[in-house]
Homo-oligomer: A and B are copies of this chain.
């Protein structure tokens, strides 16, 4: 505590990201990174930008990236916003669309950054309970809130809701903004992007950190009708003119253009996920049905905390959350086939030695 701290800083509990270990080499399955490198065309694009030009500011509008995304997603360029990771875009949504004191609603088990943003910008949160099977019942979102924030697929459960359910949600709450955080959508869920034409209360947020192997470069984007995008532009231009650097813009353009690499690596990850899920189930794990690049699993015989510690000790990092109702679960990122092979073997050994 310090006499110069604002009330916000005194009271806030910041988000804690998964660890990025520096002490030793782990099989790193804790922050949902892609096991495959960025496309070779992305690396070549970065090399081409690595020169004297870095002395110049990037395009503050990121026009080339917006046009590339607009082509790929079949929307207009003024329906695209880009930011320094989707986390930054989610943060911008709060001052763009809500006033201090407003109420935003999201599932009680979801990306744990949402209540932190709400605190930072002075919003109140109203959470909805999940069903016993961890699915989200969209009909539970209350009428008397100012906005809805939904991760689809949800994190850390990995469970997705279908497009028809999203559409019913948008119709029912047509007077309030619905933000769909599609960080993991490419791994098998249905994207709400085709709905932005018809629903001006829909904003879809996505990221280059997962399906496009670019967590290290920080690029995210939002798609929605031009007035929503204009609000985000106004906030961004009142905060930092140049949020996405030259290399990140250039790399992101190349990533979107290399559709073949994108599809191929996605398919590999989905295949590995399904195989890993089967093997974990055969070891007695409860495995939630995932449309993401991670699995959310528990075992009736060993606590989540213990499994986490044992794996960590053995050089495998996964993520464990202390939240009520999920304290026995582990979130395991899908790595390469070889990494998942090691994971399954280790778990098999633990179970053999631990369960009488």
Interchain CB contact under 8 A, A120 and B238: yes
| The one of B3, B117, B217, B243 that contacts A54, using a Cβ cutoff of 8 Å | B217
**Chain A interface main SS type:** loop
A20 to B200, CA, bound (A): 31
| The one of B20, B230, B241, B243 that contacts A59, using a Cβ cutoff of 8 Å | B20
| The one of B9, B177, B231 that contacts A235, using a Cβ cutoff of 8 Å | B9
User: In the assembled complex, how far is the CB of residue A20 from the closest CB belonging to chain B, in whole angstroms?
Assistant: 6
Given contacts A216-B53, A216-B58, A242-B85, contact A9 B228 (CB under 8 A): no
| The one of B57, B234, B243 that contacts A31, using a Cβ cutoff of 8 Å | B57
Interchain CB contact under 8 A, A55 and B215: yes
Interchain CB contact under 8 A, A60 and B242: no
| The one of B7, B16, B47, B91 that contacts A239, using a Cβ cutoff of 8 Å | B91
Most interface-central of A4, A22, A120, A217 (chain B CB within 10 A): A4
| The one of B231, B241, B247 that contacts A46, using a Cβ cutoff of 8 Å | B247
Stretch at the interface among A33-41, A124-132, A283-291: A33-41
A35 to B52, CA, bound (A): 9
Interface string of A202-214 (1 = CB under 8 A from B): 0000000100011
Q: Does A227 contact B (CB under 8 A)?
A: yes
Given contacts A7-B99, A20-B60, A235-B120, contact A50 B52 (CB under 8 A): no
| The one of B34, B54, B227, B242 that contacts A17, using a Cβ cutoff of 8 Å | B242
Given contacts A240-B87, A247-B217, contact A231 B6 (CB under 8 A): yes
Q: Does A74 contact B (CB under 8 A)?
A: no
A192 to B116, CA, bound (A): 34
User: In the assembled complex, how far is the CB of residue A64 from the closest CB belonging to chain B, in whole angstroms?
Assistant: 9
A96 to B237, CA, bound (A): 19
User: In the assembled complex, how far is the CB of residue A145 from the closest CB belonging to chain B, in whole angstroms?
Assistant: 14
Q: Does A66 contact B (CB under 8 A)?
A: no
Interchain CB contact under 8 A, A5 and B227: yes
Given contacts A91-B239, A215-B55, A247-B216, contact A231 B12 (CB under 8 A): no
Given contacts A5-B227, A6-B97, A9-B235, 15 further A-B contacts (CB under 8 A): A1-B227, A5-B97, A9-B97, A14-B237, A20-B59, A31-B57, A37-B51, A37-B55, A43-B50, A53-B216, A56-B216, A58-B216, A88-B240, A120-B235, A120-B238
